[in-house]
């Protein structure tokens, strides 16, 4: 059923032809065959958004202006989420049209048009780019749901299999070995294309969820989770690369933020599984079965997902793809060393933080499953969305390095405070951490894709994940070992010291990539002997 356009009536002191002339002059309004005027907007990714004006005379010599707002989007999977945002922006512009027109007719200064909302991209997405981003986001949402399950349900899984804290920490560390499998899939993405790698990752994720749901022993469950972690990592990496490669200039950070929102959307379903786990000792298996059911989405994703245009153009050349030596060359090697060290230190904190926070809330703060779900929604889910929405425009306007440094420093420090306190401070600190970490994390994720050329973008990011996995394993084992003598909260906070150092001193030494083309930041088929002038600047200008 077609949507009925929103409309409003306004009286203006001017004859109809004067009103039409003002609209043409101010908004480049175009005449339609039926006498109405159409003002096109660029706020609709993958669709159209326009304001239609009908001008009629009235008895006092003035005009009656009917303003209609029209939005038509055809995005796969997330049309329901994006359309309200575009409609909001268009309605705000529609309210501005009569105000500006009346000022022009009266010979008064025309007020400035309302700026585009910060949650919409600066660059204009065409239909293909918007569809690609939406489909990549769907893939990330699916694996985001799966990735959140083991962290959210670690406690009931541990009780079900009668595993000790040390055994759980060791198993979580073992699952990090999945990064080695992810390295193969990401390398496959450089050699065979982004589309095939994403579909393979979703399939492996669903299969491993099915095995987890019916696992008879903890060893089988751990093995399935190792495969699942590989699938989650590979899909997230390649989907992010595909989205950034397809993004118009000025919207790469926006694309990364949208994938972050999609991942959070999927993760929220894992949080909702917490109260279900209270029903019975085996109820956690239902959540993994629900994750396995996402295999049914693969045919739809396959129909909507296309190959990255940047990769397709490269595939027709003689540039060798997926070479590890291309990552460690003199030009890109410095970037990789900085990122690898930083990612290692950040994961020493983020891995135990994400995996053991619920256990901390259960064992130390004595929260129930429902209480944890409420805590996560209030202090992580909603604030995290705010941080993701801020990340894109801030990263483009302020630069990646500023957002990374400030966001991660605040996010890590406040999360450490949360582990050392209780009561209201715990809720406030966790909320602040969610906002800051989301913004800093999106900027960092964007940079990781931007720092390397198309032919090794998948391989380089997978190698960075390997560095992160080593940090994750050390962090999980360290937190598990230290939790007995000093307590879980203090152990988690202690893991954050290295992450603070990485945010303060390592990541600011990367070159700034905001407001630069992707080909300028990381040229394809090029590995110069010396870094260029932009690369040589270690700190903010």
pLDDT tens, the chain, 541 aa long: 445 456 678 888 888 999 999 999 999 999 999 889 999 887 666 678 899 999 999 887 789 999 999 888 878 888 877 888 788 888 889 999 999 999 999 999 999 888 776 666 655 777 788 888 899 999 999 999 998 888 778 788 888 888 887 787 778 778 777 777 777 777 788 888 899 999 999 999 999 999 999 999 999 999 999 889 888 988 988 999 998 888 888 788 888 888 888 888 888 888 777 777 777 778 888 999 999 999 999 999 999 998 888 888 887 787 778 777 778 876 788 999 999 999 999 999 998 998 788 888 988 888 887 788 788 888 887 888 888 888 888 888 888 999 999 999 999 999 999 999 888 999 999 999 999 998 999 899 999 989 998 888 888 888 898 888 889 889 988 998 888 889 999 999 999 999 999 999 999 999 999 888 888 888 876 554 444 434 444 333 3
d(C-alpha 481, C-alpha 346), whole Å: 19
pLDDT tens-place string over residues 448-503: 989 998 888 888 888 898 888 889 889 988 998 888 889 999 999 999 999 999 99
Q: DSSP alpha helices (H): ranges in 162-283? A: 165-175, 178-192, 194-213, 218-246, 252-277
For the entire predicted model, the pTM comes to 0.77
pLDDT of 338 reads 95
Which of helix, strand or coil describes residue 50?
A: strand
Domains detected in the chain: 6-105 (3.30.530.20), 128-513 (1.20.1250.20)
CA-closest candidate to residue 379, choices 441, 429, 442: 429
pLDDT of 2 reads 45
pLDDT of 122 reads 55
d(C-alpha 163, C-alpha 480), whole Å: 13
d(C-alpha 220, C-alpha 45), whole Å: 44
pLDDT tens-place string over residues 68-121: 998 888 788 888 778 887 888 888 899 999 999 999 999 999 998 887 766 666
Who contacts 51 (Cβ-Cβ below 8 Å, separation ≥6)?
Answer: 38, 39, 41, 67, 68, 69, 70, 90, 93, 94, 97
CA-closest candidate to residue 308, choices 440, 196, 154: 196
Who contacts 327 (Cβ-Cβ below 8 Å, separation ≥6)?
Answer: 333, 336, 452, 456, 459, 460, 463
């Amino acid at each position: 059923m077609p949507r009925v356009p929103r409309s409003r009536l306004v009286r203006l002191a001017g004859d109809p032809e004067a009103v039409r002339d003002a609209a043409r002059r101010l908004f480049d309004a175009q005449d339609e065959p039926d006498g109405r005027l159409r003002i096109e907007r660029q706020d609709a990714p993958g669709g159209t958004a326009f304001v239609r004006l009908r001008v009629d005379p009235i008895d006092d010599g003035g005009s009656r202006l009917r303003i209609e707002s029209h939005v038509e989007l055809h995005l796969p999977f997330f049309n329901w989420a994006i359309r309200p945002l575009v409609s909001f922006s268009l309605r705000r512009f529609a309210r501005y049209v009569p105000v500006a027109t009346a000022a022009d007719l009266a010979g008064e200064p025309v007020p400035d048009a309302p700026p585009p909302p910060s949650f919409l991209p600066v660059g204009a997405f065409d239909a293909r780019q918007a569809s690609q981003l939406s489909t990549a986001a769907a893939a990330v949402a699916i694996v985001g749901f799966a990735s959140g399950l083991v962290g959210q349900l670690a406690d009931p899984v541990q009780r079900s299999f009668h595993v000790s804290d040390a055994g759980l920490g060791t198993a979580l560390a073992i699952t990090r070995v999945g990064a080695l499998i992810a390295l193969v899939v990401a390398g496959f993405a450089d050699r065979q294309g982004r589309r095939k790698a994403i579909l393979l990752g979703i399939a492996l994720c669903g299969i491993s969820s099915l095995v987890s749901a019916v696992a008879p022993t903890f060893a089988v469950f751990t093995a399935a989770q190792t495969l699942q972690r590989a699938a989650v990592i590979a899909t997230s990496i390649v989907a992010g690369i595909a989205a950034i490669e397809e993004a118009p200039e000025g919207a790469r950070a926006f694309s990364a933020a949208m994938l972050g929102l999609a991942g959070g959307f999927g993760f929220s379903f894992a949080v909702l599984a917490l109260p279900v786990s209270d029903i019975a000792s085996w109820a956690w298996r239902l959540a993994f079965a629900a994750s396995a059911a996402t295999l049914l989405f693969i045919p739809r994703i396959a129909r909507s997902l296309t190959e990255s245009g940047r990769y397709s153009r490269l595939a027709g050349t003689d540039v060798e793809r997926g070479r590890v030596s291309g990552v460690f060359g003199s030009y890109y090697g410095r970037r990789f060393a900085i990122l690898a060290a930083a990612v290692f230190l950040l994961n020493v904190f983020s891995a135990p933080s994400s995996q053991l926070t619920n256990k901390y809330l259960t064992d130390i703060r004595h929260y129930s499953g429902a209480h944890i779900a409420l805590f996560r929604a209030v202090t992580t889910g909603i604030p995290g969305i705010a941080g993701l929405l801020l990340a894109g425009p801030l990263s483009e306007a302020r630069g990646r390095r500023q957002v990374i440094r400030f966001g991660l420093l605040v996010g890590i420090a406040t999360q450490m405070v949360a582990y050392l306190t209780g009561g209201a401070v715990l809720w406030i600190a966790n909320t602040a951490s969610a906002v800051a970490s989301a913004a800093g994390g999106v900027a960092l994720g964007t940079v990781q894709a931007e720092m390397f050329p198309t032919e090794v973008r998948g391989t380089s990011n997978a190698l960075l994940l390997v560095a992160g996995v080593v940090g994750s394993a050390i962090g999980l084992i360290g937190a598990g070992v230290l939790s007995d003598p000093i307590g879980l909260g203090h152990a988690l906070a202690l893991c954050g010291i290295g992450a603070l150092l990485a945010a303060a001193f390592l990541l600011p030494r990367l070159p700034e990539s905001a407001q630069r083309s992707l080909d300028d930041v990381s040229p394809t088929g090029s590995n110069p002997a010396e870094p260029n002038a932009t690369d040589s600047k270690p700190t903010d200008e």
